[in-house]
Amino acid sequence: MEVKYYKSQAEQVVRNYLLADPVLPYSSLLIGIFLCKMAYDLTHALSSYYFKCYPSLTKIQRIEWNNRGMSSAHAIYITSVSIYLVFFNNMFSDQLEGPVTLRYSNFSTFTLGVSVGYFIADLVMIFWLFPSLGGMEFVLHHSLSLIAIAYTMLSGEGQLYTYMVLISEATTPEINLRWFLDTAGLKKSSAYLINGLLMFLAWLVARIFLFIYLFCHMYRHYDQIEKMHIFGYILVFFVPIVLFGMNLVWFGKILKGVKKTLAKKK
């Protein structure tokens, strides 16, 4: 009986979502990759003109510099859209009829496609220059994110929780700015200290408190989560839990760094 139930669910997902509008997900993915290339090249052009330290960087440092400019552009875009859809748009409101886990729109699907394009582009660069742009923890983070976002983009399931997790990208610009300042020889500057404090606060809100809110929301809407396809059901629990564990580990390192920096300023 359970096998027939899950088979029926899978057929419904394919019929209603995967085959409903095949152009939008894949076109938005390609647009995402194209925008990543634009952001990468624009970072290179602007940095060559405005930052005196940029030409003196090694080849791998310039690649990482441009890559971080690309990831910052994606982070600003996806965080802005995620906050809007989660907190300021009524698409996921409890006042509407139907499971919140099955709601989506062309705009929400398109945005997820752009994000999938980014994670593909960034993951390719990580593997291409491994481990210069990040070790296995980055591969794990990007792989989980890519699988989860791609599934919810194609199926329309669990987009609310995907966007809640994507708000955590709000910490990316601060992380990148920290690296930019360090590479530019400004590690002892006030800007480095202020950015470190902002990174600490952003991480606390977007990667700790928000995940706790996400888990509470999932608990209150568990009956609606049960209506998801089995693969989506597993992803909606597994991915946030793993990412939250990684967030806690990284937060501990950030906390130690902040304490160390503040101690030097005394």
193 or 16: which leads in pLDDT: 193
> Residue 5's pLDDT band (boundaries 50, 70, 90)?
low
CA distance 94 to 51: 49
SS (H, E, C) 163-222: HHHHHHHHHHHHHHHHHHHHHCCCCCCHHHHHHHHHHHHHHHHHHHHHHHHHHHHHHHCH
**Whole-prediction pTM:** 0.89
Distance in angstroms (rounded) separating the CA atoms of residues 133 and 126 = 5
How does pLDDT run across 187-244, given as a tens digit for each residue? 989 999 899 999 999 999 999 999 999 999 999 999 999 999 999 999 999 999 999 9
- Among residues 211, 235, 210, the alpha carbon closest in space to that of 225 is found at 235
For 133-160, what is each residue's pLDDT tens digit? 999 999 999 999 999 999 999 999 999 9
The dihedral of CA 58, 64, 67, 72: what is its sign? negative
